[in-house]
Structure 1
Amino acid sequence: MRLISPVNSLKRTKRHIIIIFAYLTLAACSSLGTDRVLPDRFDYNQAIGQSSNQQMLLNLVRLRYRDVPVFLSVSSVLSQYVYLGSANLGGSTGSVNGGVGVTYIDRPTISYSPLSGEEFAQQLLTPIPSASIFSLAQSGWPAGQLMMMSFERLNHLSNTAFGPVLSQEQIKKMKKFELAIKLIVALGKHNAFDSYHGEGKDENRYLVFDKNPTPETRQLIDRFKKVLQLDPDISIFRITDRQINRKPNEVTIKLRSLLTLMGFLSHGVEVPAEHKQEKFVEHTEVVEIDNNDFFIPLHIRSSAKEPDNAFVAIEYQDYWFYIEHSDHSSKQAFGLLTYLYMLQAPQAPGGVPILTIPAG
């Protein structure tokens, strides 16, 4: 009978534990990748989406305080897993006890690219393409809110950008603009007009009215033409952004730029009384307007404490600014602004400085 010394037995057991540890580590490596794809993808998706909302809200608040908006895009997310293994062996002569452990830590590396430069500035200052507005309208976005937010002018009627003080004359003009928008919505429900591009080399866009409308629709068309001072005998109008020397067969439709739209919506920011007293923002006169949500569709609340159950919230100048989860009109307007930003803003150009942060 061969005798095995306790020392040799201990060494053999130790080797077995090391082999088991290596096997478990390799097994973990082989299965971890597929197991983590689903949760990681959703986690990062939610985090990036929430971060994008917070960035947009922060820039709206900045504009209300006459601060400069700053945009960063997430260029890449590289998820890395660091494995931490442990094996212990203890005991006395003739007895052995040990343990094996395998854990991992997720250490993602996130790269941010600043959006800046001439191209990005032009995208912010250039009027939103009418094609984007028509596409959103066709996708089912509420036409009234869409046009009130994006339209700057319809012929001689201007959609007033809110200044420090609203005069009664400005409110009167706004109501005329509101009437024109509501007539467009009503005409759309009656399928009384259409918009199309010219053929061949004709790159113009045209607005055409139904030539054989019902009596009810005819009244709407006549009223719309009267409000916009259009020729009642013309059914096809070329869309232009020209404000002066407009021809009888033309209709002026001028859209806001993304920055102008953001500046307009920033007037929906509720400024804390303390900031008003310290004159952090210019004085604005509060004027009661019928159907106020139609004119200012976005309301951003403020609070000294972090709000509960906010749709999106950020901290700025020691106060919290947020959109309430129950404020569906504001959430819809905020969503529209986000869509227009995604359509308008260019991708980060190659070669720009990239900020890469290990987030583990």
Structure 2
Amino acid sequence: MMAIPLRPRPGPVLVLVLPLLLSACAGFAPKRLYDDQIGYSGSLSDSQKAQTLLNAVRIRYGDSPVFLNTTQVISGYSLQRSLSGTLTILPGNNPANTVAGTPGVTMTQSPTFTFQPVTGAALAQSVIQPLSPAELLPLSLSGTPIDVLFRLAVQSVNGLQNSSMLDTANRTGSPGFAHLLINLRRLQIAGLVHFRLGQTESGGDPTKAAEPKDSTKAPTNLIISLPDSDDPQLQQVVVATRTMLGLSATRTEAEVVYGSGSPSPGTVSILTRPILGVLGQIASEIQVSPQDVAEHRTIPTVDDSAILSRPTIIIHNGDKPPHDAFSSVRYHDRWYWIADTDFDSKLAFSVMQTLVSLAETTQPSGTVVTIPAR
């Protein structure tokens, strides 16, 4: 309640009270739209990173991963404005002339989040089914480091094996696989490795005539192209990479096929991983307590840094994460986190998040759980 002394002309006083009350709320809706969209998108991104990191830690300890997607966010607000008051006017300029009022604004917030567990057919399609090479490999054209992409999502190329958490006999993989990734990265930086859908060009293999093209069919074959370079040093890398891929030194293109082992002439065999395999790759490199290994709570960490210089994503563990960690989760009595000052790990983690999004179905099946926010 407030009391305002009434001036000799009381009329304008009443005119000023409502505009002040209304102007205080005039920009409420646009500001809430901006704050909610930016705020919820940031929170959703942080929660997705934490879920991915926690699932990798779970797999590291032989626990089951859990996938819970946020499918809908409804931010509801109710705004009520009120003004009540009394007006007392006595004759003349009596000091008792007053106008009294009680302005008020009441706002209530009731956001609702909708979560959907990934189970059944959706789990098999988006998490257990291997990623398609035709969707995976062209990501390198968008600037994704091809060595990171292969380390995360490719299990083998022409029989050259990537590291594997469950392969106790050869957990660090084939040395040739690491050398292939180093060469592919050098060629990617130089713009000498490409992927496209279509058929190989006639100049791809001088010993074999090109197959006739059918313009009535949409191209479905994934072609890898390794053109020649004018730089003698890069040309040596090109030739060496072609040899690693089972191609002749003069062949510039080959078809990528899904599978393992030795491919047929003119093709490159690539065995991709499912999302569970991608998470398993990250899990295998997590540094854990030596006591946990001694007590058989988990297995030793995969170490292929002798050739590739560092793990794909460095995940630390300890009693407490730094306040500025890129992402951190608690599992049992320890914390696991990615440092915000480790750009390479953050970049690789964002690539993994992209792979998770790539594998998700548009309309996953499962039970929808709607939870009003507290």
* Number of residue pairs matched by the alignment: 338
AA of the residue aligned to 1:119:
A
Match of 1:81 among 72, 77, 81: 77
1:301–1:321 Cα contact (<8 Å) kept: yes
Q: Would the alpha carbon gap of residues 318 and 192 (structure 1) be closer, same or farther in structure 2, given more than 3 Å must change?
A: closer
Match of 1:112 among 106, 111, 115: 115
1:192–1:213 Cα contact (<8 Å) kept: no
C-alpha separation in 1, matches of 2:304 and 2:224: 35
| Equivalent residue number for residue 61 of structure 1 | 57
| Equivalent residue number for residue 282 of structure 2 | 265
Q: Would the alpha carbon gap of residues 220 and 35 (structure 1) be closer, same or farther in structure 2, given more than 3 Å must change?
A: closer
AA of the residue aligned to 2:243:
K
| 5+ residue gaps, structure 1 | 1-16
Secondary structure, aligned partner of 1:39? helix
Match of 1:331 among 318, 332, 346: 346
C-alpha separation in 2, matches of 1:41 and 1:226: 51
Q: Percent identity?
A: 25
1:149–1:261 Cα contact (<8 Å) kept: yes
1:32-60, Cα deviation, whole Å (9 max, x unpaired): 32331111211111111111111111111
| Equivalent residue number for residue 9 of structure 1 | none
AA of the residue aligned to 2:41:
N
Q: Would the alpha carbon gap of residues 25 and 132 (structure 1) be closer, same or farther in structure 2, given more than 3 Å must change?
A: farther
1:55-107, Cα deviation, whole Å (9 max, x unpaired): 111111111111111111112111122447788889xxx88855332231322
Q: Would the alpha carbon gap of residues 267 and 35 (structure 1) be closer, same or farther in structure 2, given more than 3 Å must change?
A: same
C-alpha separation in 2, matches of 1:31 and 1:222: 64
C-alpha separation in 1, matches of 2:63 and 2:285: 16
| Equivalent residue number for residue 203 of structure 2 | none
Per residue, is there more helix in 1 or in 2? Answer: 1
1:141-178, Cα deviation, whole Å (9 max, x unpaired): 1222222222211112111213374x6x665x532111
Q: Would the alpha carbon gap of residues 213 and 282 (structure 1) be closer, same or farther in structure 2, given more than 3 Å must change?
A: same
AA of the residue aligned to 2:123:
F
Matches within 5 A, 1:147-226: 147-163=150-166, 165=168, 171=172, 173-192=173-192, 194-196=194-196, 197-198=198-199, 199-200=213-214, 201=217, 203-210=220-227, 215-226=232-243
| Equivalent residue number for residue 310 of structure 1 | 325
Deviant stretches of 4+, over 6 Å = 23-30, 84-90, 211-214
| Equivalent residue number for residue 41 of structure 1 | 37
Q: Which moved more, 1:220-229 or 1:69-78?
A: 220-229
2:228–2:238 Cα contact (<8 Å) kept: no
Q: What is the Cα deviation at residue 190 of structure 1? A: 4.9
| Equivalent residue number for residue 249 of structure 1 | 266
| Equivalent residue number for residue 299 of structure 2 | 283
Q: What is the Cα deviation at residue 125 of structure 1? A: 2.1
TM-score under structure 1 normalisation?
0.79
1:125–1:257 Cα contact (<8 Å) kept: yes
C-alpha separation in 2, matches of 1:31 and 1:227: 63
| 5+ residue gaps, structure 2 | 1-13, 87-95, 200-212
Q: Would the alpha carbon gap of residues 212 and 269 (structure 1) be closer, same or farther in structure 2, given more than 3 Å must change?
A: closer
Q: Would the alpha carbon gap of residues 133 and 107 (structure 1) be closer, same or farther in structure 2, given more than 3 Å must change?
A: same
